[in-house]
Amino acid sequence: MLLDRLWNAARPFVPVRFYPVLAPLHRWRRRVRIARLADDDLQRRRADPGLVAPPAELRYNVVGPCTIPEFLAGGEQAVRDLEHALTTVGRSLDAARTLLDFGCGCGRVLLALERRQAIPSLTGCDVDAPSVEWCQQHLRRSRCFVNEALPPLPLGDGSLDLIWCGSVFTHLDEDRQDQWLAELHRILVPGGILLASVHGAATWESRLPARTIATLKQKGMMFARFDTDVGARPRWYQVAWHTDEYVRSHWGRTFQIAAYIPRGLQGYQDLVVAEKPVKPQ
């Protein structure tokens, strides 16, 4: 779309503090895109009545504008990315017995994991009730529930050996991140793995103003309000960026950072492989 090309060209020169001013334009674009996707969905579901995929608006809330085939393919690619990240630290996805998709949305990754039939216990949770409701109605093997905006989760200490957290810490301020890091540490078994994505250098080097990038590099982490999805997402759900040095030092207070993989998720977001130490740090 012409609007997207204009925005991408202007974005490196627009200070982050002005992003909320553009929110009405983003919301208009959202409505237009969802309507177009819904029309495409209608044709695809007529051709394949057994197609299992969430509606356009729920998909948009998770990954933006994408058709049903793109959504399903994205889930498969995410699972391959998780597999690759685990192999870098000598682990295997299929060796997991209990997996939590923290921030599961409308089940993009869980749908792909269910097709593998490898992990015995799959759980998903999200703050978005409509997305969780869709998962509860359509996923066959996953137990899904709505979680609160802040900890705790209704899960026992050391009850999981693998947690996937895709594009969640990319939207939380530092205080919320710290609280959830501590909570995910609690529910992991010693030696368990947290896989989490962050907005690393690939997401801001060509997209943010030079002054903002300089501040980000100095602070290590930045959080900004876009307010583009008022009514669709909570007001605290905005945008955060990280440097790898920040992740290693700040997250390293809670977890042992086993690997940091630039562009490790979908060739865009960075992937963090964090291990709960067997012995307290």
- The domain locations on the chain are 72-275
pLDDT in tens, the chain (281 residues): 555 666 566 666 677 776 666 667 777 788 889 999 999 999 999 999 999 999 999 999 889 899 999 999 999 999 999 999 999 999 999 999 999 999 999 999 999 999 987 899 999 999 999 999 999 999 999 999 999 999 999 999 999 999 999 999 999 999 999 999 999 999 999 999 999 999 999 999 878 888 999 999 999 999 988 766 666 678 899 999 999 999 999 999 999 999 999 999 999 999 999 999 997 65
Q: Which CATH number fits domain 72-275: 3.40.50.10860, 3.40.50.150, 3.50.50.60, 3.40.50.300?
A: 3.40.50.150
Contact 238, 19 (CB under 8 A): no
What is residue 99's DSSP assignment? E
What is residue 121's DSSP assignment? E
Under DSSP, is residue 257 helix (H, G, I), strand (E, B) or coil? strand
Residue 267 backbone dihedrals phi, psi, to 5 degrees = 70, 20
Put simply, whether the predicted model's pTM sits higher than 0.85 gets the answer yes
